[in-house]
A and B are shown apart, each in its own frame.
Chain A
Amino acid sequence: MAEGATLQNTANETFGKLLARNASSHGSSIAIREKERGIWKESTWAEYVEVVLACAAGLRKFGVKPGKAVLILGDNRARLYQGMLAVSLLGAYAMPAYPGATLEELQHFLGEVDIVAAIAEDQEQVDKILEVRKAGARGIAHVIYDETRGLGFYEDDGLMSWDHLIEVGRHDLNEDPHRREELLNKAKPDDPAIFLHSSGTTGKPKGVVLSQRNVLAAARNGHEAGAFDQNEEILAYLPMAWVGDYAITVAAALLYRFTVNVPERQETVVRDMREIAPTFYLAAPRSWDQMLTTIQVGMEDSTPVKKWLYHFFMDRATAAETRKLNGKSGGLLEPVGRFLGEAIVFGPIKDQFGMSRLKNAFTGGEAIGEDTFVFYRALGIKLRQFYGQTEISAISAMQAPNEVRLHTVGKPAPGVEVKIHESGEILLRSESVFAGYFKKPEASAETLEGAWLHTGDAGYLEENGQLVVLGRISEVMHTGGGERYVPNYIENRLKFSPYIKDAAVVGAGRDELTAMVCVDFEAVGHWAEVNGVPYVSYSDLSQRDEVAALLHEAFLRVNKALTEALQLKRFVSLPKEFDPDDGEITRTRKLRRKVVEERYTDVIAALYDGSKEVHVSAQVTYETGEVGKVERSLPIREV
C-alpha cells in the first residue's frame, strides 16, 4: 500500500531539513508575501530561511531550549510564522495563542509550561504580556515585538524589537560558521513542532503538542488525498492558534513550497484576497455563508438587467448542481448555460472575490448548509468538506473533487485508518496523531487507546468508504420522552438561515425542544433597512415582531426536517450576541453549552413555564475588560 511509502518518506524529515532543501534548490522562488502599506513585500526561500536562522540563533542566546516554550501572540504576520519555525528548530515549544486571548487564558498557559519568551505582534499584545508579568507570573523574560509603533518609550526588562533579535542572531551566525548547520540539524522528527490547545467546549483547554513528524505526515496525507498540490498560492488569514492554519500555512507550505500571502490586517482580508487570488482556500462554513450573503445582498442592490441575468444563470446552475447532488444527470443544454454563465455572471463574481484561480476550496469545522454548498458548486467552485481535529494535526478525511455528497465528509485520507467503536465513536489511527495531552496522562489515556485516537465524534462509514459524522458523542442528549437528539445538529440547521448567527437548543430531560437564537446583525440589519423596519440597536432589532416573523420561517423550515418529537416548539431571540469574551462560545465560535445554560437559566425556565415574556439581564464584557449588563424583557415566541 502507498501508506508504507508515506511512512518511509516522512520518517526522517524535519523542518530544518526542509528549510535547507527549499533554500538551496528553490532559493529564488517566493516563500512569503506580506502586505505593508499596500505593497506586497516578497521574501524568497533563501531570504526566508536566513531570517528564520537568525531568529533561532537569537532566541538560543536568550535561553530558548528544549522543554521551554515561546508564546506567539498576534494576528497573522510573516515574522510570527518565522518565529514559530525558529522555535521549532531549537526543539522548544512554539505556543501560538488567539490574538483575543484574555489574561486568564494567558495565565493558564503559563501554569502549564515554562514560557521563557514571547513574540508579540504589536503594542496591544505586548501590554497584555507585561500585565501578565506584573500579575506575578514568573518566566517570559524576553518579549519580542514586530510592530514598533507606540513602543518607543517602553523600558521594561527584556523587551526588544524583532530587528534587535535578528541582529543578535546574525552576529551569532557570523561568529560561528557551523551554527547554521547546527541549527538546521538540531531538531529531530519527534521534537515538537507546535504547542496548541484543544478548543475546550468543556472545561479548560488541554495542551496538545504535535511533533514535526505529526504535522508533516498530516501534510503528506492531505497532499495524497488531493487537498493541495505543489506551489499553491495561499492566504494566511486564519487564526495562528488554530491547527488548520498551522497544518496548511506552515507544515504543508514547507513541504510543498507554497507561497504564503499574509494580508495587511484582518479588516483588509477581502481586498487582499482579490489581489492574491489564492489557489487554495480553507474557510469555516460561517465565512462561506457570509460571502454568500454579501453576494446575494450585492445582487439585490443591482440593476434589473444584471439581476435578471444573474438569476437566469444562477437558478439554472443551482438546479443542475442539486440534480447532480441527487444523482441525476443534466439536460443537453447544461454545458451551454454553464459556459455562458461563466463568461457573463460567474466569472466576474469569482473575480470580485478573488476566487478566479481557486482550485482547492475547503470547508470544515462544522456542517455546511445545502444552499451554501450548492451555491458555490454552481458558481464553479469545487467546494469540498473536510474533517479533522487538533489531535490528528487537522487532516483526517476529505471529499474528492468530483465525488461530493452533502452528508458525508469524504473518504479518509491515505495514511489515515478509520474504525468505528462499538459506541458509534469514530476512531482514527495515523502517523499524524499526537502522543498525548501535555502533562495530562489520564486524559491522554482516555483519548488514545493503542494508537487509536478517540475523536469524540459519533459517526459511521458508508459502504463506499465515505465517512459520515453525526456530531459530538458527548452531546447526544435525550428528551423527557427518551427521544435521542444531537443539539449541535439542530443548531447547525438553524444557523443555515442567514438571519441566525448563533443558536442554543435546550430540552434535555424535558418534553419538548426549544431554542434561544442570536440574530445576525449584519444580515438582519440590512433586511431591516430594505424593508423599512426601524431599530436603534442590536437588542432592539432582535426583539422586533417583523424580525421574529423572519426567524419563525427559519424555524418552520428546520422543523420540517425533524421528527414530530424533536420539533422546536418555542424560541427566544436573545438581546446580545454570543461572544467569546463572555465565555458563551469558544474563540472558534463553538457553543459552550454549560455556560449558556447557566447564564440564561431564567430564559430557559420561562420557555417551559408557559409565560409570555421573560425579563433578562445579560452580562457583557467590553473590550476594555469592563463588565456591563444588558437588561430587557424578551417575548417568548411560539412556533
Chain B
Amino acid sequence: MFYRLSGVHHANYLSDSRIFKVPADRNLAAFIFLIGIAAPFIIPSLYLNSYMLPWLIWTAAALGLNLVTGWAGQLHLGYAAVMAVGAYSAIHAVRFGVPWEFALIIGGLTSSVIGSLFAFAALRVKGLYLALTTLAMQFVMDWVLTHSPAITGGSHASLQSPTLALLGQEITSDVGYYYVAFGWCVLVTIFMLNLKRTGLGRALVAVREKDFAAAILGVNSFYYKILAFATSSFIAGVSGALLVATFFFLAAPEQFSVNVSIQVLAMVIVGGLGSIIGSYFGVALILLVPGVVNGLFFTASQSLGLQINVETLAHIPNAVYGALIVIILLVEPLGLGKLYGNIRDYLMVWPFDQLRK
C-alpha cells in the first residue's frame, strides 16, 4: 500500500545498486533517523539513558556479531570477551594519556587482533566444534581478566572509566552520551547497509553458504573468514569501550562474562541472521522486553490485588520472556527481521496476493 514502485528505473548500474531502491524504504529510514536525532527532546531523560542508549550500543555490537555469524556464517560464542578486550584496552589507553578518539580505535584494533585468533580456530573447525572452541576462548579470556590485576585490578575490582571527551569536548551530559551512542550505531548501520552491495559482502555470503564451493568460485575463504572476524571484532571492541564510557562508567569482568556472549547471540538469532533491521528488533526484545514484562506483571498484580510473593513475581516475567522468544522463533525461524520482511512483502504487492509474473 505504501510501497510505490512505478516510475523507478535505473539509467546506470550505480543507480541500480543503491541502498534504498524503494522510495518508501528510504523515506522510512530518513524518518527514523530524524526521530533518532530528535529523541533527546522527545523522550524523558530517564528513558533516554536507561533504554535508548543501551539499545543503540548493543545494536551496534549485535550488528558486529551479525557480520560474522549472519553474513560469514561462523558461530561465535565468545563475543563478549572480544568486547571486554576493546573496553579494557581503550580505558587503559586513555589512562595512559591517549585521547579518547585514538583510544577507541586502539580498543577496536586490539580487539581485532585478539578476535582474529578466534578466526584461526574457525579455519580448522566448523559448526558445533567452532561454537565450542569460541566458548573455550571466552573462558580463557574470563580467566585472564580475573587473574590479571594489571588489567582489571583483580577478580572483584572494577576499573573506573575516565571522563569521555571527543574532539576536545568533555562529554558529561545524558544528551551527550546519547548522541555518541547514536552516532556510533548509525555509523555501524551504514557500514552494514553498504556491506551488502560490496564484493566483500558477497564473498562473505559465499563463504557462509559453503566455504569450499566459495573456494571453487575463487573466493579465498581463509582470507575472508579472518577479515570477517577482524572486522566484527573491531566493531565489538569499540562498542565495548563505548558501553563502559557512556553507560557503565566502570569496567568489571562480569560485565563481559559468558552469559553476555550468549545474550548477544540470542539478540542476533531472534532478530534474524543477516538482517540489519532485525538486529534492532532483536536487541530491543532481549534488552528491553524483560523490563516491560516485569512492569506489566507488577502493575497487573497490584491492580488485581493478587498477593503473589516476591520470588514468583520475579520469575514469571522471565518465563514469559523465554516463551516469547520460543514463540517468535516457532512462528518465523528467520527472526523478527523476517517478520518485518513478510509485512513489507505483503504491503509491497497490495492489493494482490503475490507478485505477478
**Hey, which bits of chain A sit against chain B, CB under 8 A?**
33, 38-42, 270, 274-277, 294, 298-299, 301-303, 306, 309-310, 344-345, 347-357
A299 to B352, CA, bound (A): 6
Complex interface: stretch among B10-18, B194-202, B230-238: B10-18
Q: With A39-B11, A39-B13 in contact, do A348 and B6 touch (Cβ < 8 Å)?
A: no
**Is B10 within 8 A of A39, CB to CB?**
yes
The verdict on A356 contacting B353 (CB below 8 Å), with A42-B11, A344-B1 known, is no
Q: For residue A298, which residues in chain B have a CB less than 8 angstroms away from its CB?
A: 352-353, 356
A355 near B6: Cβ-Cβ < 8 Å: yes
For B351, what are the chain A residues with a Cβ–Cβ distance below 8 Å?
Answer: 299, 302, 306, 309-310, 344-345, 348-349
B337 to chain A, nearest CB (A): 23
A352 CB contacts on chain B under 8 angstroms: 6, 349, 352, 356
A41–B8 alpha-carbon span in the complex (Å): 14
Q: Does B156 contact A (CB under 8 A)?
A: no
A348 to B13, CA, bound (A): 27
B7 within 8 A of A: yes
Chain B hits for A38, CB < 8 A: 10, 16
> What residue of chain A has the Cβ atom nearest to residue B15's Cβ?
A39
Binding site secondary structure of chain A: helix
Question: Cβ of B349: which chain A residues have Cβ within 8 Å of it?
Answer: 352
How far does the Cβ of A233 sit from chain B's closest Cβ, in whole Å? 9
Bound-state Cα–Cα, A596 to B190, Å: 66
Closest chain A CB from B347 CB (angstroms) = 9
Please indicate the chain A residues that have their CB under 8 angstroms from the CB of B6 in the complex: 274-275, 277, 350-357
B binding-site residues for A, Cβ under 8 Å: 1, 4-13, 16, 349-354, 356
A294 neighbours in B (Cβ, 8 Å): 356
Would you call B11 and A40 a contact (CB within 8 A)?
Answer: yes
CA distance A350 to B1 in the complex (A): 11
What is the CB-to-nearest-CB distance from A264 to chain B, in angstroms, rounded to a whole number?
11
Query: Tally of A-B residue pairs with Cβ under 8 A?
Result: 71
Known: A39-B12, A276-B9. A302 touches B352 (CB 8 A): yes
B1/A41 in contact, CB under 8 A: no
- Which residue on A lies nearest to B10, using beta carbons? A39
Choice from A33, A345, A353 contacting B11 with Cβ under 8 Å: A33
CB-CB nearest 4 A-B residue pairs: A277-B7, A275-B9, A277-B6, A302-B353
Give the CA-CA distance A310 to B1 in the complex, in Å. 13
Closest to A298 in B: B352
Task: Please name the residue on chain A nearest to B354 by beta carbon.
Answer: A301
Question: In the complex, what's the smallest C-beta–C-beta distance from A232 to chain B, in angstroms?
Answer: 14
- The CA of A40 and the CA of B11, in the complex, are separated in Å by 4
Q: In the docked arrangement, what's the CA distance between A274 and B356, Å?
A: 12
Residues of A within 8 A of B354 (CB): 301
B11 touches A306 (CB 8 A): no
- Additional A-B contact list (9), CB under 8 Å, known A33-B11, A275-B5, A344-B351: A39-B13, A39-B16, A40-B9, A301-B352, A302-B351, A345-B351, A348-B350, A351-B4, A354-B6
Bound Cα distance A332, B162 (Å): 70
Given A299-B351, A357-B6, A348 and B1 contact (CB-CB distance below 8 Å): yes
The residues of A that contact B8 with a CB separation of less than 8 Å are 275
Report the minimum CB–CB distance from A483 to chain B (whole Å).
Answer: 45
Residues of A within 8 A of B356 (CB): 270, 294, 298, 352
By beta carbon, the residue of chain A nearest B353 is: A302
Closest chain-B Cβ to A375's Cβ sits at a distance in Å of 15
A520 CB, min distance to chain B CBs, angstroms: 17
How far in angstroms is the closest Cβ of chain B from A378?
Answer: 15
Q: Which residues of A contact B13 (CB under 8 A)?
A: 39
Q: Which residue of A lies closest to B351 (CB)?
A: A306
* Bound Cα distance from A345 to B354, whole angstroms: 15
By beta carbon, the residue of chain A nearest B350 is A348
Q: List 23 A-B contacts (CB under 8 A).
A: A33-B11, A38-B16, A39-B10, A39-B16, A40-B9, A40-B11, A274-B5, A275-B9, A276-B9, A294-B356, A298-B356, A299-B352, A301-B353, A302-B353, A303-B353, A306-B352, A344-B1, A348-B1, A351-B6, A352-B6, A352-B352, A355-B6, A356-B6
Q: Which residue of B lies closest to A353 (CB)?
A: B6
**How far apart are A307's CB and chain B's nearest CB, in angstroms?**
8
A350 (CB) vs chain B CBs: closest residue: B6
B10 pairs with A40, CB closer than 8 A: yes
Docked Cα-Cα span, A303 to B351, in Å, equals: 9
Query: Roughly how many angstroms separate A264 CA and B292 CA in the complex, as a whole number?
Result: 54
Which residues from chain B contact A344 at a C-beta distance below 8 Å? 1, 351
Closest CB in chain A relative to B168 CB, distance in Å = 47
CA of A350 to CA of B352 in the docked complex: distance in angstroms? 12
Q: Please, how many angstroms separate the alpha-carbon atoms of A302 and B16 in the complex?
A: 30
Contacts of B5 in A (CB 8 A): 274-275, 351
- Residues on A with C-beta less than 8 A from B350 are 306, 348
Residues of B within 8 A of A355 (CB): 6
* Chain B residues near A270 (CB-CB < 8 A): 356
Taking CB atoms, residues of chain A closer than 8 Å to B352 are 298-299, 301-302, 306, 352
Task: List the B side residues contacting A39 at CB < 8 Å.
Answer: 10-13, 16
**In the complex the two chains form, what is the Cα distance from A354 to B4 in whole Å?**
10
Q: How far is the CA of A105 from the CA of B16 in the complex (A)?
A: 42
CB distance from B9 to the nearest CB of A (A): 4
How far does the Cβ of B17 sit from chain A's closest Cβ, in whole Å?
11
Whether A356 pairs with B9 at a CB distance below 8 angstroms is no
Q: Distance in Å from the Cβ of B351 to the closest Cβ of chain A?
A: 5
Name the residue on B nearest A357 (C-beta). Answer: B7
Q: What residues of chain A lie closer than 8 Å to B11, measured between beta carbons?
A: 33, 39-42
Chain B, Cβ-Cβ closest to A279: B7
Nearest Cβ on chain B to A132's Cβ, whole angstroms: 36
Min distance, Cβ A231 to any Cβ of chain B, angstroms: 15
CA–CA, A344 and B350, complex, Å: 9
Q: Distance in Å from the Cβ of A337 to the closest Cβ of chain B? A: 16
A345 to B350, CA, bound (A): 8
Nearest CB in chain A: distance from B43 CB, A: 31
